[in-house]
Homo-oligomer: A and B are copies of this chain.
């Protein structure tokens, strides 16, 4: 479980919710990280922004001798995970991309919301999605399926390295999502990447404004020196907003 020492400054995570995953992915590519955006994982609430740190849960395929008919809250790794996540955590579930049954449903999602977690991400499915969609919590999944998880999945362990949507996720990594999907930022470079992405997004907001006022992309995107000088000036007079 990520200790307090691993924690990312909540103000930085707040900043991350103002940066697009497209920009974060660009910053990661610049640093040599080519595979950080989850494949096939879609927002149930594209109107909400997600930013937190990975609390991981690993599923393997179910087997009749592993999964009891009746779930026991004290031994089920799924239930222990739900009662362990807290403020700043994103529960990231490795379901091997298998959506033939749910990974969890609306009651557990409600509890996760109540515990203050930042969101839930899985490369499998949710059940009760009509109910989950009305919880004020950013949730991401590959799909929806009403069958209960134990039909297909066995929750094996928590806070180990996992794969989710084809991306490596370590406990404590920054996990940021928008309407486009979810990006994972290795813990060690999270602050650096978020700050640089914020700066890039500001610059792109300036460029987009300029283009909306009629500028050609020539000399503007990518910006030449003149445009960069204008941007520095603009930045001084500009108050960041929450747009996305």
On whether A107 and B181 interact (CB within 8 A), knowing A25-B146, A63-B168, the answer reads: no
Query: How far, in angstroms, from A207 to B110 measured CA to CA in the complex?
Result: 10
The smallest C-beta distance from A143 to any residue of chain B, in angstroms, reads 10
Query: How far, in angstroms, from A102 to B183 measured CA to CA in the complex?
Result: 15
Q: How many residues of A contact B (CB 8 A)?
A: 79
- In the assembled complex, 14 residue pairs joining A and B whose CB atoms fall closer than 8 Å, in A order, are A20-B146, A26-B146, A33-B63, A33-B65, A37-B145, A63-B167, A63-B168, A63-B186, A73-B217, A73-B222, A110-B211, A111-B221, A114-B211, A144-B181
Task: Answer whether residue A46 sits at the interface, using C-beta atoms and an 8 A cutoff.
Answer: yes
Contact A63 B35 (CB under 8 A): yes
On whether A127 and B63 interact (CB within 8 A), knowing A29-B147, A96-B97, A154-B168, the answer reads: no
Contact B146 A217 (CB under 8 A): no
Task: Answer whether residue A235 sits at the interface, using C-beta atoms and an 8 A cutoff.
Answer: no
Task: Answer whether residue A128 sits at the interface, using C-beta atoms and an 8 A cutoff.
Answer: yes
Our pick among B61, B146, B167, B180 for the contact of A127 (Cβ within 8 Å) is B180
Q: Oligomeric state, in number of copies?
A: 6
Contacts of A208 in B (CB 8 A): 106-107, 110, 131
Contacts of A108 in B (CB 8 A): 217, 221
Task: Answer whether residue A212 sits at the interface, using C-beta atoms and an 8 A cutoff.
Answer: yes
Task: Answer whether residue A5 sits at the interface, using C-beta atoms and an 8 A cutoff.
Answer: no
Contact B61 A130 (CB under 8 A): no
Interface string of A211-233 (1 = CB under 8 A from B): 11010111101100000000000
Task: Answer whether residue A193 sits at the interface, using C-beta atoms and an 8 A cutoff.
Answer: no
